[in-house]
């Protein structure tokens, strides 16, 4: 779907992005995670053809974006960090305009598609309203609606939940997930839970470069803070039905025990448990039965945060195995 | 072509839906009317040739039209930049040329519509005096060509600027510089004098139209200025993709 090779962007002498190489499969939801100024927006602007790269190539469905933008642009839907909305237009009229702008004919099919997208993004109830009168949440939804109205195969969303309240964030996350399958989605954010909850794959951007953090190994796992005998706890966890992997969380404790768990002076240690189903209840029962104290059980979000901060140079140092990669 | 019309139509709707469009039209017509009464017709009872009155009318109209074009053109690209909507056009399958032409077309349609509303003034001269339809038609053609050139300059300025304020100042400076070339010509010697005079936006070129004289070189001049600045605006938009 997307093949990026040795992509770089310089603004004057300053390198904003690159060199970056990555591959994104069709149908994936990929999150670009990074702090402000990491190069996420610049990367998305280049992928959308709004900005030309200084060097490197971007191929979408095998077509070079720089060499042949006319063939590629109809395949792209782009929501910039500020939705590109004309305040003096009505919602339905605006979507009709953006559809025609992307080459859709002015006929009944386009009108039907506009209504379909309004239903999909839940902006139908404000269809007659002027865009300038919409709330922030509706503006974001309308921004997504304009990006998908022409059925693009690639959807680029720059900070889609920025400025939304908690309810709107959940709705937006569901909306983005609902687009899964019809579109390959690349979204950027500096908010870890947003990316973690929404995306199939996470690419961390640091100083304009993509780094592999081993996120996929961490996501979908449970983090357990326990007290007792680490070896017993590991055996009990491994024996629980559905558990596929038990391992230590290396970056949370100073010392690494030989049996693979990390234990501090108070006898508290942590384990990371991967499973192919919801094993929380069974796991707790097994550990308690084995006389291991369960102090805390959580999804491994905190470890993601630690890793993210380490990558951004704000944490306890990059964990082993972190390296720049062609994703 | 449909892309050009799409952009132009959206711009025109923008004028019609904002009070700014109506205010500008009202102001333009008011000033045109005042200039016609006070400047072209002159004092009550004063006797003037109809052709002279018509010439003075076009003189006033040309100034107001330049002002109107500069104001309308300033918003075209700078306004989109300020409101972050330019990206919608830049990432669409439209070519930069179509974006520029669509915006140019929208201003021309708006300005010509406003200008046509002044037709009652030459008609008044028709009632009380004797002027040829040809003189009126050529005068309006001159106004249309002047509007075309100033609009193109305005779009170029708008493509350079990040804000509408900067755009209008830039456009005003460029138009003023091209207007004042006739004065530079006055203090120059041939052959520089002829060359500079030929480049001036208004004086030599527009006076022929006001007198009802159609010269192809004048038409070619205004069309050349239009094409040059539209091309410059297109290239500026293309260059902006690098930064």
User: pLDDT tens across B32-52, in order?
Assistant: 888 888 776 777 667 778 788
Question: How distant, in Å, are the alpha carbons of A212, A217, B16 from that of A272?
Answer: 20, 10, 63
A122: left (phi over 0), alpha (psi -120 to 50) or beta: left
Q: Which residues of B touch A87 (CB under 8 A)?
A: 83
Interface test mutation site (partner B, options A13, A81, A97, max chain B beta carbons within 10 A) = A97
DSSP, collapsed to helix, strand or coil, labels residue A77 as strand
| Residue B67, token pair as written in the block | 């002002």
Instruction: State the average pLDDT for chain A.
Output: 83
| Residue B151, token pair as written in the block | 């609009």
- Min Cα–Cα distance to chain A from B242, Å: 5
Strand partners, A22: A4
Can you give the pTM of this predicted structure? 0.81
Is the ipTM value over 0.90, yes or no? no
Dihedrals φ, ψ of A124, to 5°?
-60, -35
Verify whether the Cβ–Cβ distance B91 to A73 is below 8 Å: yes
Kindly tell me if the per-residue pLDDT of A313 is higher than 80: no
Q: Which residues of B touch A97 (CB under 8 A)?
A: 6, 10
Q: DSSP character for A250?
A: G
- Min Cα–Cα distance to chain A from B208, Å: 42
CB atoms under 10 Å from CB of B72, counted, come to 28
DSSP, collapsed to helix, strand or coil, labels residue A187 as strand
pLDDT for A162-197, tens place per residue? 878 888 888 888 888 888 777 899 999 887 777 777
The per-residue pLDDT for A221 is: 78
Verify whether the Cβ–Cβ distance B14 to A88 is below 8 Å: yes
Kindly tell me if the per-residue pLDDT of A210 is higher than 90: no
CB atoms under 10 Å from CB of A320, counted, come to 9
User: From the first residue on, what is the mean pLDDT of each consecutive set of 10 residues in chain B (243 residues)?
Assistant: 89 87 90 82 72 87 93 90 92 94 96 92 81 90 96 95 92 93 83 84 87 92 96 94 83
| Residue A20, token pair as written in the block | 């970056």
Q: Which position has the higher pLDDT, A216 or A320?
A: A216
Question: How distant, in Å, are the alpha carbons of A155, A315, B112 from that of A209?
Answer: 21, 18, 53
DSSP, collapsed to helix, strand or coil, labels residue A211 as strand
The per-residue pLDDT for A315 is: 55
Q: Which residues of B touch A49 (CB under 8 A)?
A: 90-91, 241
CB atoms under 10 Å from CB of A196, counted, come to 22
Sign of CA dihedral A163, A165, A166, A169: negative
Distance CA B165, CA A117 (A): 37
Distance CA B20, CA B154 (A): 17
Q: Which residues of A touch B89 (CB under 8 A)?
A: 101
- Min Cα–Cα distance to chain B from A52, Å: 5
Kindly tell me if the per-residue pLDDT of A250 is higher than 50: no
Closest C-alpha among A152, A187, A202 to residue A80? A187
B87 close contact with A: CB closer than 8 A: yes
């Amino acid at each position: 779907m997307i093949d990026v090779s040795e992509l770089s962007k310089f603004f004057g002498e300053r390198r904003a992005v690159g060199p970056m190489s990555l591959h994104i499969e069709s149908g994936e939801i990929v999150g670009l995670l990074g702090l402000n100024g990491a190069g996420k927006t610049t990367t998305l602007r280049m992928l959308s053809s709004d900005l030309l790269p200084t060097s490197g190539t971007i191929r979408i469905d095998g077509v070079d974006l720089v060499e042949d933008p006319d063939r590629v642009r109809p395949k792209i839907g782009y929501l910039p960090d500020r939705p590109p909305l004309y305040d003096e237009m009505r919602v339905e009229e605006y979507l009709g305009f953006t559809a025609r702008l992307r080459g859709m004919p002015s006929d009944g099919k386009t009108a039907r598609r506009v209504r379909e997208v309004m239903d999909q993004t839940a902006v139908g109830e404000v269809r007659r309203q002027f865009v300038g009168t919409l709330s922030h949440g509706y503006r974001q939804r309308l921004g997504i609606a304009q990006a998908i109205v022409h059925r693009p195969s690639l959807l680029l969303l720059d900070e889609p939940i920025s400025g939304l309240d908690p309810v709107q964030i959940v709705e937006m996350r569901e909306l983005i997930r609902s687009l899964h399958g019809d579109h390959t989605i690349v979204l950027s954010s500096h908010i870890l839970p947003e990316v973690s909850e929404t995306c199939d794959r996470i690419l961390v951007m640091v100083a304009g470069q993509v780094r592999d953090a081993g996120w996929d190994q961490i996501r979908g796992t449970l983090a357990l803070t326990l007290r007792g005998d680490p070896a017993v706890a590991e055996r009990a966890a491994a024996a629980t039905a559905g558990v596929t992997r038990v391992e230590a969380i290396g970056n949370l404790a100073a010392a690494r025990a030989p049996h693979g768990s990390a234990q501090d002076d108070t006898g508290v240690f942590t384990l990371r448990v991967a499973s192919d189903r919801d094993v929380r209840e069974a796991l707790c029962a097994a550990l308690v039965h084995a006389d291991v104290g369960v102090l805390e059980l959580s999804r491994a979000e905190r470890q993601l945060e630690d890793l993210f901060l380490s990558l951004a140079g704000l944490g306890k140092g990059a964990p082993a195995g972190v390296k720049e990669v062609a994703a | 072509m449909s892309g050009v019309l799409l952009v132009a139509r959206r711009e025109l709707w923008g004028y019609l839906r904002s009070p700014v469009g109506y205010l500008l039209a009202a102001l333009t017509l008011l000033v045109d009317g005042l200039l016609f009464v006070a400047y072209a017709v002159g004092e009550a009872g004063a006797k003037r040739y109809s052709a002279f009155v018509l010439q003075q009318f076009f003189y006033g109209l040309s100034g107001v039209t330049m002002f109107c074009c500069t104001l309308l053109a300033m918003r075209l690209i700078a306004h989109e930049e300020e409101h972050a909507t330019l990206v919608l056009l830049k990432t669409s399958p439209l070519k930069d040329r179509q974006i520029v032409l669509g915006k140019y077309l929208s201003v021309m349609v708006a300005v010509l519509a406003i200008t046509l509303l002044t037709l009652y003034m030459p008609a008044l001269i028709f009632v009380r005096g004797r002027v040829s339809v040809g003189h009126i038609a050529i005068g309006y053609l001159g106004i249309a060509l002047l509007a075309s050139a100033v609009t193109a300059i305005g779009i170029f300025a708008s493509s350079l600027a990040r804000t509408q304020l900067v755009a209008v100042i830039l456009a005003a400076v460029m138009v003023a510089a091209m207007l004042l070339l006739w004065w530079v010509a006055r203090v120059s010697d041939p052959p520089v004098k002829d060359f500079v005079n030929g480049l001036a936006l208004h004086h030599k070129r527009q006076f022929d139209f006001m007198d009802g004289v159609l010269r192809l070189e004048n038409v070619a001049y205004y069309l050349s200025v239009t094409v040059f600045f539209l091309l410059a605006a297109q290239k500026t938009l293309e260059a902006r993709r690098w930064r």
